[in-house]
Amino acid sequence: MPFKCVFMLLAEFVSFDSEIATVFASILGDISMTNITRTSASHYEVQKNRRQQFIEDWRNNHRSVVHLKDIEMHRTARGLTCGVYLGKDGGNPVRTVDAAAHEIDPDTVSTIHRHSWDAVILCIGGSGWIEIDQARIDWAAGDSIHVPAWSWHRHGNESGNIARFMSFSSEPFVDILGFAILEDGGNTPLSQLPGYPGYTPTTPGNDIYARRIRRLAADQAEHRHGRLHTSWNDIEFRQSPRGTRTTFLLDSALGYRTSGLTMAMFEIGPGRAQSMHRHSGEAWLYVVEGHGHSFIGAEVDQGENYQWNKGDLIVVDHYSWHQHFNDDPTMTAKVVRVHILDTLLNTMNALCYPMNLLEEPPDHIRSKQTGDLSTISWPEVQRPSWP
């Protein structure tokens, strides 16, 4: 057992705790003799402790509101200035979506890069452009953009002012599966960069392998030709029974083909509230305009109120009861919500069936929460501005 002796000797020199050294030496002894690691804990205990630790870590990392004042903006190697709201690179591990703010200085072009996850962009200040593969999209505040997985993209700003946008990506979700890959192309022209990962478009036959090739090819073709941009000029608000007026910004209903990422905007009347509800998955809510508070709780009468202002991010934990209030008596509040709807949330609904993960109060309670909708006076819709 030479490994064991060497380890005990090393332990002497580097002053390891002798008990730890004995444990390691005994494990090494076991490995060198049998190639089997022995543990006194049963499979049940190991699994139970691991699950408990996972949930504890998750709870400790969870944030209900991330305030704009706490976001640190840093210059990055891409030539942008970025700050993480929530995400591993900002010290907050997340499981589904990450959120970050980005600024492009005047007369700046970023490096080009691509990744195996997709992202949605909410333009919040100034104007700029993004190139996604061959397509250049000029944007202004209020516009929404989808950056598909594996698309080469870079940002630019030809205006005289700083351009600012928020990004929400599916990287954490893809990372969980071990498929998160990022490739930076520096300043290489697009024509010299490799194309999308290839796939076999079709094959004859009706066996299960041939069917799989055709099914996945059709799926890829659809994902690679989805919509990329919604201009603020094209959005249309509609009154919702939840007491707000709402509009889709980026959704499969508008022709987008994302990993399930979807964005919608809702506006709460002066001094009014959205009615309470809960659903599967998290809701990520970026405050575009206004100030207010959100009730979030495990039960309708057991929760906390969280204050928010313009530029803050509210994260409603999965299956929590929640209600958003506009605290301004004269101005409306505009909030953009992000879900991973068509994929993750729908999968959660299916996996938890017959549990109903979308719940709302009965109509008579809901109308008390929203008040008389006909008395809300909505202002003319104007593009957001920053700051």
Q: Taking the complex as a whole, how short is the minimal distance between the CB of residue 173 and Fe ion, in angstroms?
A: 15
What character string, x for contact with Fe ion (CB under 5 A) and - otherwise, covers 235-274?
Answer: ----------------------------------------
**Other CB atoms within 10 Å distance of the CB of residue 358:** 11
- Angle, to 10 degrees, between the axis of helix 18-34 and the axis of helix 2-13? 160
Stretch that binds Fe ion, among 45-53, 67-75, 210-218, 282-290 (CB under 5 A): 282-290
Stretch that binds Fe ion, among 16-24, 68-76, 77-85, 276-284 (CB under 5 A): 276-284
Q: Are 112 and 190 in contact (CB under 8 A)?
A: yes
Task: Of 55, 56, 57, 63, give the one whose Cα is nearest residue 294.
Answer: 63
Q: Are 168 and 284 in contact (CB under 8 A)?
A: yes
Q: Taking the complex as a whole, how short is the minimal distance between the CB of residue 339 and Fe ion, in angstroms?
A: 8
Stretch that binds Fe ion, among 88-96, 184-192, 279-287, 296-304 (CB under 5 A): 279-287
**Other CB atoms within 10 Å distance of the CB of residue 126:** 21
Q: Taking the complex as a whole, how short is the minimal distance between the CB of residue 182 and Fe ion, in angstroms?
A: 8
Chain centroid to Cα 113, Å, comes to: 19
Smaller CB separation from Fe ion, 123 or 283: 283
Q: Are 100 and 87 in contact (CB under 8 A)?
A: yes
Stretch that binds Fe ion, among 20-28, 243-251, 277-285, 348-356 (CB under 5 A): 277-285
Task: Of 41, 14, 20, 12, give the one whose Cα is nearest residue 28.
Answer: 20
Binding residues among 314-333 for Fe ion as defined by CB under 5 A: none
Element (H, E) at 364: helix 363-370
Q: Taking the complex as a whole, how short is the minimal distance between the CB of residue 155 and Fe ion, in angstroms?
A: 9
- Which residues lie closer than 8 Å to 299 by C-beta, 6 or more apart? 321
Smaller CB separation from Fe ion, 250 or 283: 283
Q: Taking the complex as a whole, how short is the minimal distance between the CB of residue 57 and Fe ion, in angstroms?
A: 25
Q: Which residue is nearest to Fe ion (CB)?
A: 283
Beta bridge partners of 39: none
What character string, x for contact with Fe ion (CB under 5 A) and - otherwise, covers 85-114?
Answer: ------------------------------
Greatest pairwise CA separation for the chain in angstroms: 84
Q: Taking the complex as a whole, how short is the minimal distance between the CB of residue 277 and Fe ion, in angstroms?
A: 6
Smaller CB separation from Fe ion, 10 or 358: 358
Report how far residue 109's alpha carbon sits from residue 157's, in angstroms, rounded to the nearest whole number. Answer: 7
Residue 190 DSSP class: G
Helix (H, G, I), strand (E, B) or coil at 50: helix
Smaller CB separation from Fe ion, 117 or 232: 117
Report how far residue 119's alpha carbon sits from residue 97's, in angstroms, rounded to the nearest whole number. Answer: 9
Helix (H, G, I), strand (E, B) or coil at 212: helix
Q: Taking the complex as a whole, how short is the minimal distance between the CB of residue 283 and Fe ion, in angstroms?
A: 5
Chain centroid to Cα 384, Å, comes to: 22
Smaller CB separation from Fe ion, 166 or 283: 283
Q: Tell me, by CB under 5 A, how many residues bind Fe ion.
A: 1
Smaller CB separation from Fe ion, 7 or 173: 173
Smaller CB separation from Fe ion, 25 or 317: 317
Smaller CB separation from Fe ion, 283 or 314: 283
Phi–psi pair at 345, nearest 5 degrees: -65, -40
Residues in the chain: 387
Per CB under 5 A, the list member of 104, 283, 313, 336 interacting with Fe ion is 283
Q: Taking the complex as a whole, how short is the minimal distance between the CB of residue 71 and Fe ion, in angstroms?
A: 19
What character string, x for contact with Fe ion (CB under 5 A) and - otherwise, covers 114-153?
Answer: ----------------------------------------
Q: Site residues (CB under 5 A) for Fe ion?
A: 283
